[in-house]
Amino acid sequence: MLTADRLNCYLWHTRCVRSGSLLTLIGAGLAAAKLGGDLEARRYEYVDLEATKPPGHLAHVPGVGRIHYLDQGEGPAVVLLHGLGASTYSFRLNLPEIARGRRVIAVDLPGHGFTSRDVADLSLTAQAGYLASLLDLLSLERVALVGHSMGGSIAQRFAVAYPERVARLVLIASTTDDFMLRAAGASPWLAPFVPAFVAAVLHNHPVRRRWLSRAVYDPAYLTPEVIAAYEAPGHIRGHTRAYQRLMRDRRRDARIDLGRIRAPTLIIWGDTDRIVSLRHGETLARGISGSRLVVLPRTGHLVPEEQAEAVNRLLTDFLGEKTAGPGGLRAEGVQPS
């Protein structure tokens, strides 16, 4: 006889079996996605770093191995730091102009471009330390520092840790602690599936173009040449593993106090940035005493490229100023040329 207790027990058992089957299927799907991503990463990454021919110079930095950098011009030193997934290519439209009367050094950050992939610690704090070591090797005691996106976060940490070494600071569509640490919270869960993401998005040309289109105001900017240049470093072996370490190691970064940044600071943003929204620029401008926020209309996240002439003009003017601007938050729009 099927009693109410037996019926409830049967229904409970059935639900458990179904739930267990569903979890098993989900687990199997995730495992398959990870395995497929790992295999695709190995197939896509077919170039040895040592076999590449970098266009610039190589320095051997403790903790990193080799760092690739471009070095042009003479005079006061300016250092350019690119964002996540980018390289010195991001500053190709800026470097020649800024190098008129200045020495400009554009750096491939660890895990990017022609710089070493197999780096033990890729936290932002560690990368600021690697930058200090590179400047030591180049005998540069004091520089103007320009950081775009993730490069801006490294620049902020460098300005806090080595205030005497930063003459001026420029943050372009820079990530903030809130932006980076929020992502760090999910990194233990997401890091194992970075190869699957890379395979599905970064190694898939049509999908990559759609992904990149989020970073620009006008998708027409993304010519085949631009897309190919962003894709190229991904063929170097160890690229995907470096992405995983970046996600893992950002959990090591403690928050910084923006009030400790003493260098005169210029902040440049695009008004339609869908990657790092303008509110992060406003946060930086409020936190950094004496900073100046400039907002460029009809501009996405790739500010140095989309509005190269406007950015070059702003940088040239700012780097040539003899004194810092007035304190407080000053947001202003600049019409691109």
Q: What is the 3-state secondary structure (H, E, C) of the chain?
A: CCCHHHHHHHHHHHHHHHHHHHHHHHHHHHHHHHHHHHHHHHHHCCECHHHCCCCCEEEEECCCEEEEEEEECCCCEEEEECCCCCCHHHHCCCHHHHCCCCEEEEECCCCCCCCCCCCCCCCHHHHHHHHHHHHHHCCCCCEEEEEECHHHHHHHHHHHHCHHHEEEEEEECCCCHHHHHHHHHHHHHHHHHHHHHHHHHHCCHHHHHHHHHCCCCCHHHCCHHHHHHHHHHHHECCHHHHHHHHHHHHHHCCCCCHHHCCCCEEEEEECCCCCCCHHHHHHHHHHCCCCEEEEECCCCCCHHHHCHHHHHHHHHHHHHCCCCCCCCCCEEECCCC
112 in active site: no
Q: Select which of 68, 82, 148, 301 is catalytic.
A: 301
| Positions marked active-site | 301
